[in-house]
Amino acid sequence: MSLLKVENLTVALPPGGDRPHAIEDITLEVDAGEILCVVGESGSGKSITANAVMGLLPKGLAVKAGRIVFEGRDLLALSPEGMRRLRGARLAMIFQEPMTALNPVMRVGEQIAEAMRVHGAGAEAARRVPELLAAVKLPDPAATARAYPFRLSGGQRQRVMIAMALALEPSLLIADEPTTALDVTTQMQILRLIREIQSRRGTGVMFITHDFGVVAEIADRVAVMQHGRIVEQGPAAEILNRPQHPYTRALIAAVPQGAPGSAPPSSAPVILEAKGVEKTYRRTGGWFGPKPEVRAVHHADFVLRKGETLGLVGESGSGKSTLARCVVKLVEPEKGEILFEGADLRPLSRRAWKPFRKRIQMVFQDPFASLNPRRRVGEIIAEGPITHGAPRAAALARARELLALVQLDPGAMERYPHEFSGGQRQRIGIARALAMEPELLIADEPVSALDVSVQAQVLALLADIRARLGLTMLFITHDLRVAAQVCDRIAVMQHGAIVEQGPTAEVFGAPRHPYTRQLLDSIPGRGWTPPVIAA
């Protein structure tokens, strides 16, 4: 008899939503000792399902029909008090954002003990905390227990959440995208930790994610969701290698893999060279207090040839973004040279920079923050050329052409950014950069904030533009799969320094630096090469 059986579960959306039901006719099972991965893009209703099982649906959403049978009892029939007694004891949940998941003004140990105390563990609760923290492989459990959450890193906090969830040995653990916000290496450690605990205690796990790599890494069985429905369900191997439903097939096809196009000959002229660039952040301590320093970028010399795409790869805090911003003077490095076609850009004044502004442009990460919400799309694109003296009419006409280039309908000229999806906004960002007809384009994590399917389209657009205009590109990303697909050469960065750089095939095939190896190992589902899907 399975641990959890969800039958025809339907949850209604408040009127005025884009569809009548958040989730419709959901039927799935989770057995003890098994990991069920529920995968789907944002808006597919996977989180709603998880929250429905835990009885934590937000006020506006109500269960319309279906049953949730857990250990033989229908949870929907339970009184709120009955459900509360189960939560944390028999079934537990961990969430996506570790940074805000813990109460900032309460010590970590206290929050874990609370989970036990509310279920009647009394004095014994405090005693078991260090033991639990050790079980999730946290260094120095006693110190961690006394610490406040803001002292811990994202990964450490997620471990605390796991310890808290598994304190009372629940039979079912629901994990709502627990590793999405973490770095690749930390993500791998957490996935292995969940896998190990699950197999040791035979806990059933319902794992929510949007990343097929993660599915390949840990899933026993998979359920694929789209627009609130389960479109396909079955053993992981079946779904990953022989996807039946067209939506699943499209998703798998969108997973970035394969090698980039032909790299330009190494004899092409050098466009951009960084030599000895250094940037240090000094935190404003008190008048007399200590002034801690963070050396964001130090040994990071690299060369970029015309027509080539160099990938700057590394985890958050590695300095890849700071280095890129040094090139366009959004960040002022203290030392070093940034040569663009021989001219050193670093010491130039704001006015001296103006001619170079036309020749170097940048695309940003967050589609919702990179466009000025108060201006029309047409003006956003035409603004650059107009600043550099282009007549308004010509600039606007050029903007209309660019919209077509980035596959958006010209009618978008008059509309405001908030009327577009994430993917469309990113295209507008690209059009804005191209309006200046730059020779060098800097893309700072252009697709990280997009869903997998949309990500694939934008990457295809970039590849097409690069080929057509012969653009040179500096591509910043933390996702090695994307880097592998897009970049001719890769530079791996750690703690502000480039530890290894070379042609993509060499760096992926025969990594020399231990950190590069660890990075490659941490790619979830590395063993699985997605099947080539006929278009």
Site for another protein in 133-162 (CB under 8 A): 148, 150, 161
Nearest-CA neighbor of 489 among 253, 255, 213, 265? 265
Q: Does 429 bind another protein (CB under 8 A)?
A: yes
Q: Please tell me whether residue 340 binds another protein under the rule CB under 8 A.
A: no
Residues 6 or more apart whose CB falls under 8 angstroms from that of 114 comprise: 125
Element (H, E) at 280: strand 270-282
Q: Which of residues 224-263 bind another protein (CB under 8 A)?
A: 228
Question: Is there binding between residue 172 and another protein (CB under 8 A)?
Answer: no
How many residues lie near another protein (CB under 8 A)? 75
Choices 54-62, 135-143, 456-464, 514-522; region in contact with another protein by CB under 8 A: 54-62
Q: Which is nearer to another protein, 378 or 511 (CB)?
A: 378
Selected binder of another protein within 4, 29, 39, 88 (CB under 8 A): 88
Give the footprint of another protein on residues 19-38 (CB under 8 A). 22
- CB of 514 vs another protein, minimal distance in Å: 34
Closer to another protein by Cβ: residue 259 or 352: 352
Q: Rounded to 5, what percent of the chain is helix, strand, coil?
A: 40, 25, 35
Choose which of 28, 30, 36, 48 interacts with another protein (CB under 8 A): 48
Pick between residue 325 and residue 481 the one whose CB is nearest to another protein: 325
Maximal C-alpha separation, the chain: 76
Can you point out the beta strands (E) in 76-180?
A: 91-94, 172-176
Under rule CB under 8 A, residue 58 binds another protein = yes
Look up tokens 């480039």; give the residue: 498
494 binds another protein per the rule CB under 8 A: no
Smallest gap from residue 503 Cβ to another protein (A) = 29
Question: Of these, 207, 247, 302, 364, which contacts another protein (CB under 8 A)?
Answer: 364
Per-residue string for binding with another protein, 188-227, x by CB under 8 A?
Answer: ----------------------------------------
> Quick one: which of 60, 246, 261, 514 contacts another protein (CB under 8 A)?
60
Buried-state track 310-340, b at ≥16 Cβ within 10 A, e below 16:
bbbbbbebbbbbbbbbbbbbebebeebbbbb
With CB under 8 A as the contact rule, the residue among 1, 139, 262, 287 that binds another protein is 287
- Site for another protein contains 84 (CB under 8 A): yes
Give the whole-angstrom CA distance, residue 482 versus residue 36. 26
Q: Is 468 in the site for another protein (CB under 8 A)?
A: no
Query: From CA 171, how far away is CA 3, in angstroms rounded?
Result: 8
Smallest gap, in angstroms, from Cβ of residue 11 to another protein?
9
Backbone phi and psi for residue 160, each to the nearest 5 degrees, phi listed first:
-60, -40
Q: Is 330 in the site for another protein (CB under 8 A)?
A: yes
Residue 354 binding another protein, by CB under 8 A: yes
Taking phi over 0 as left and psi of -120 to 50 as alpha, with beta for the rest, 314 belongs to: left
Per-residue x/- marks for another protein, 502-521, CB under 8 A? --------------------
Instruction: Write down the least CB distance from residue 47 to another protein, Å.
Output: 5
Tell me the chain's radius of gyration from C-alpha atoms. Answer: 25
Residue 18 binding another protein, by CB under 8 A: yes
Residue 86 lies near another protein (rule: CB under 8 A) = yes
Burial of 342 (0-12, 13-18, 19+ CB in 10 A): exposed
Inter-CA distances, 242 with 71, 232, 268, 526, Å: 33, 11, 43, 18
Q: Does 294 bind another protein (CB under 8 A)?
A: no
Which residue stretch of 215-223, 273-281, 379-387, 465-473 sits at the interface with another protein (rule: CB under 8 A)?
A: 379-387
**Closer Cβ to another protein, 100 or 407, answer by number:** 100
Counting contacts by CB under 8 A, is residue 531 touching another protein?
no
71 near another protein, rule: CB under 8 A: no
Selected from 8, 42, 244, 316, the binder of another protein by CB under 8 A is 42
Of the candidates 32, 63, 78, 118, which one interacts with another protein according to CB under 8 A?
Answer: 118
Q: Which is nearer to another protein, 58 or 265 (CB)?
A: 58
Q: CB within 8 A of 70, min separation 6: which ones? A: 3, 4, 5, 53, 86, 90, 91, 172
Any contact of residue 64 with another protein (CB under 8 A)?
no
Instruction: Give yes or no for residue 389 binding another protein (CB under 8 A).
Output: no
Sign of the C-alpha dihedral computed for residues 322, 326, 327 and 333 taken in this order: negative
CB 450 within 8 A of CB 222: no
- Does 95 bind another protein (CB under 8 A)? Our answer is yes
Q: Give the whole-angstrom CA distance, residue 13 versus residue 486.
A: 39
Interface of this chain with another protein, residues 430 to 459, rule: CB under 8 A: 432, 436
The helices-and-strands tally (H runs, E runs) of the chain is 20, 21
Helix (H) or strand (E) holding 220: none
The answer to whether residue 302 forms part of the interface with another protein (CB under 8 A) is no
Entry field: residues in the chain: 535
Q: How far is CA 67 from the centre of its chain?
A: 33
Tally of CA atoms within 13 A in the half-sphere of 222 that contains its CB: 28
**What 8-state DSSP symbol labels residue 528?**
P
- Verify binding: residue 15, another protein, rule CB under 8 A: no
Q: Which of 3, 28, 35, 47 binds another protein (CB under 8 A)?
A: 47
Residue 384 touches another protein, criterion: CB under 8 A = yes
CA distance 301 to 500: 11
User: Token pair of 499, please?
Assistant: 């530890």
Among 257, 372, 407, 529, binds another protein (CB under 8 A): 372
Q: At 241, phi and psi to the nearest 5?
A: -95, -25
